[in-house]
Amino acid sequence: MSKVERIQRLSPNTRGEDYVVGDIHGHFSVLEAALSHIGFDVHRDRLLSVGDLIDRGPESHRAADFLGQPWFFAARGNHEQMMLDTVGGDTIAPGARALWYQNGGRWFEEVDEYEAHVLCSALAELPYALAVERADGRQVGVVHADLPAQRWATAVAAIADAADESTVLQHTIWSRERAGAIQARLDGQRSRRAVDVGGIDRVFFGHTPMPAAIAFSNTRWLDTGVFLPRGRLSIAALSDDSLWSFAVDDTRDIRRGWRELS
């Protein structure tokens, strides 16, 4: 992947709505039910993913089908990177397969060679962040885990310029530093770690499961533990900040609205 492709820039969607979905983890049937409920229109709307499409759920093999759709866009998550580290090159990094399998990657053993190639090729093209321009002029970012700087422009420049396998790229898909500050606030504590992101209207994160979808300052946290007991899949609309969280075991069980932190 070339450096300029690490940030995928999306022009305004002038035909329909843009939605952002939290970590899917192979629960694509739940996603389909959720999209049906919110009236998602594949001819007009776009769905932006914070990453972690695969592992821990029953339908990880379906990720390639969604990545092939013109209305679906995803940032790279650490689970996609674990797969690429294991099967995406000529050599396997020491311990890569064991790490991936410990984190839900064993489903890959049942995938045929052609499907494996298609999926691996699609994952290798995933950017580390999405930069979305809205028709009203607002700027929205989508990233998996964290940003390597407090200002958006500085962070995306660092991602674009980073060497392969750099700590900057690892931070983007693995770090829980910013999420840790959110979790501290949930526990009634204060953290010195800044959470908000300067120079952008809103940034959506995944990676760290939260007890509910969280809104804090200009950040939104959409991983609501779809793979956990009583987990949910959360989807937000960019136009009005609407939020739906669907129970995995019964998609008719829907929570509305963000848990707002101050």
For position 88, what pLDDT does the model report?
84
Token pair belonging to 134: 């809205």
Residue 21 DSSP label: E
Catalytic residues: 79
Distance (Å, whole) CA 166 – CA 173: 11
Q: What is the pLDDT of residue 92?
A: 79
User: Which are the contacts of 101, defined by CB distance < 8 A and separation ≥ 6?
Assistant: none
Give yes or no for a contact between 41 and 16, defined as CB atoms under 8 angstroms apart: yes
The predicted structure's pLDDT at residue 11: 98
Provide long-range contacts, Cβ within 8 A and 24+ apart, for 138-141: 138/201, 138/202, 139/200, 139/201, 139/202, 140/18, 140/200, 140/201, 140/202, 140/203, 140/204, 140/238, 141/197, 141/200, 141/202, 141/203, 141/204
* d(C-alpha 230, C-alpha 145), whole Å: 22
Per-residue pLDDT 10s for the chain (262 aa) are 445 489 999 999 999 999 999 999 999 999 999 999 999 999 999 999 999 999 999 999 999 999 999 999 999 999 999 999 999 877 777 899 999 999 999 999 999 999 999 999 999 999 999 999 999 999 999 999 999 999 999 999 999 999 988 999 999 999 999 999 999 999 999 877 889 999 999 999 999 999 999 999 999 999 999 999 999 999 999 999 999 999 999 999 999 999 999 8
